[in-house]
């Protein structure tokens, strides 16, 4: 509203200057275009700069800042880039799904009729997106930063990286199975001295036994990645140099904030639980890209300009999003 009022004032001033310049030019018999341009330029040049600034820019253009947050949110080097994108299914920051009922039995060489009929009962599920808030940043002259792309981009990258890091941390924890199962293999290798290439071969066997699809992803913890390099540096370098190539059927990513499991039970620790190095071990996590999803909903920006208490401008961002296994199948982990 303030921007509109200020713009109206500017237009009225320009119209007034134009009328006066036209009248002057007619009185002295010259082309009115030159006086019109001259009077308006002088008015803008020597007018009150603060009023002119308020006319042209009142508050921050949130759309500019938010679009910078959204653009290229998932880097190609992130494991999240492989997950199914379910942004289109988000409605009011929720995803409404249905858990499919049991598949039908298959008869071989059947001679008994009529064939039995069974209903399939799907269970509706409503998933509400998590809320991620960045801590506020204190800025001087946020309005001027908005006009300078490099400066604005620097501020935006700080908030974008913080959101992505926390979102990825929550996602990889969700992609990791809670415990060992037929379709959720958790290989406990605590008896070994170090993580080995043979552990990945054993995980490949588990995925082959459950007929998992070929879009297999393995996210290594830095500790496990270093162990592989120590075991066979030449093999490790050859694998890492071949981007896009598979290691025993898995496309490899690395991430620093991996989930932890209790060594004795093989149970995954709840997200945010304090880790006890004596009892808990870090995991590398595997999943099939077609069996996990990610979704981002509303992204909003909060700004307070010219805060009287901070003597500065304050901005922060809020993002709604979630990442989950779709059916809790073909997700696995190696503990060591």
Domain 61-93+129-336 of CATH type 3.90.1690:
yes
Give the per-residue pLDDT at 96.
84
Mean pLDDT value of segment 153-177: 95
| Domain ranges within the chain, ordered by starting residue | 2-56, 61-93+129-336
For 243-247, which contacts have Cβ atoms below 8 Å and span 24 or more sequence positions? 246/216, 247/200, 247/218
Say how far apart CA 319 and CA 302 lie, in whole Å: 11
Q: Give DSSP secondary structure letters for 294-324.
A: EEEEEEEEEEEEEETTTTEEEEEEEEEEEEE
Is pLDDT at 31 greater than 50 in this prediction? yes
Is pLDDT at 32 greater than 70 in this prediction? no
Picking from 56, 66, 55, the residue whose alpha carbon sits closest to that of residue 315 is: 66
What's 92's DSSP letter? T
Hey, what are 314's tokens?
């304050």
Nearest-5° Cα angle at 271, 267 to 273: 80
Q: For 218, what's the count of Cα atoms within 13 Å in the CB-facing half-sphere?
A: 26
Is pLDDT at 48 greater than 70 in this prediction? no
Give the per-residue pLDDT at 132.
97
Give the per-residue pLDDT at 54.
46
Integer distance in angstroms from the first to the last C-alpha of the chain? 60
Mean pLDDT value of segment 257-283: 96
Is pLDDT at 286 greater than 70 in this prediction? yes
Picking from 287, 286, 314, the residue whose alpha carbon sits closest to that of residue 302 is: 314
Question: What distances in angstroms separate CA 170 from CA 91, 130, 132, 295, one per listed residue?
Answer: 21, 10, 10, 13
Burial environment of residue 309 by CB neighbours within 10 A (0 to 12, 13 to 18, 19 or more): exposed
Give the per-residue pLDDT at 2.
44
Give the per-residue pLDDT at 97.
73
């Amino acid at each position: 509203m303030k921007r509109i009022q200020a713009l109206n004032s500017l237009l009225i001033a320009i119209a007034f200057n134009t009328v006066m310049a036209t009248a002057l030019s007619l009185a002295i018999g010259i082309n009115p275009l030159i006086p019109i341009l001259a009077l308006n330029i002088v008015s803008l040049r020597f007018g009150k700069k603060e009023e002119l600034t308020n006319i042209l820019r009142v508050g921050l253009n949130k759309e500019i800042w938010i679009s910078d947050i959204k653009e290229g949110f998932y880097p190609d080097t992130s494991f999240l880039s492989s997950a199914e994108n379910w942004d289109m299914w988000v409605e009011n920051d929720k995803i409404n799904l249905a858990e499919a009922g049991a598949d039908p039995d298959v008869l071989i060489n059947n001679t008994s009729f009529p064939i039995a009929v069974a209903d399939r009962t799907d269970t509706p599920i409503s998933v509400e997106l998590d809320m991620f808030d960045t801590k506020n940043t204190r800025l001087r002259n946020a309005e001027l930063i908005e006009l300078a792309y490099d400066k604005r981009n620097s501020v935006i990258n700080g908030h974008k990286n913080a959101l992505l890091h926390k979102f990825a941390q929550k996602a990889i924890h969700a992609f990791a199975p809670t415990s060992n199962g037929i379709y959720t293999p958790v290989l406990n290798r605590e008896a070994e001295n170090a993580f080995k290439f043979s552990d990945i071969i054993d995980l490949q066997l588990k995925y082959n036994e459950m007929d998992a699809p070929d879009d297999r992803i393995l996210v290594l913890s830095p500790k496990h990645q270093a162990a592989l390099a120590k075991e066979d540096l030449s093999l490790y370098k050859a694998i890492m140099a071949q981007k896009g190539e598979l290691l025993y059927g898995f496309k490899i990513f690395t991430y620093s904030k991996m989930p932890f499991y209790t060594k004795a039970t093989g149970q995954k620790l709840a997200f945010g639980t304090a880790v006890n190095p004596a009892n808990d071990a870090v995991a590398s996590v595997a999943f099939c890209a077609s069996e996990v999803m990610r979704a981002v909903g509303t992204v909003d920006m909060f700004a307070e300009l010219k805060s009287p208490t901070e003597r500065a401008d304050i901005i922060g961002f809020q993002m709604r999003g979630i990442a989950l296994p779709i059916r809790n199948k073909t997700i696995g982990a190696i503990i060591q």
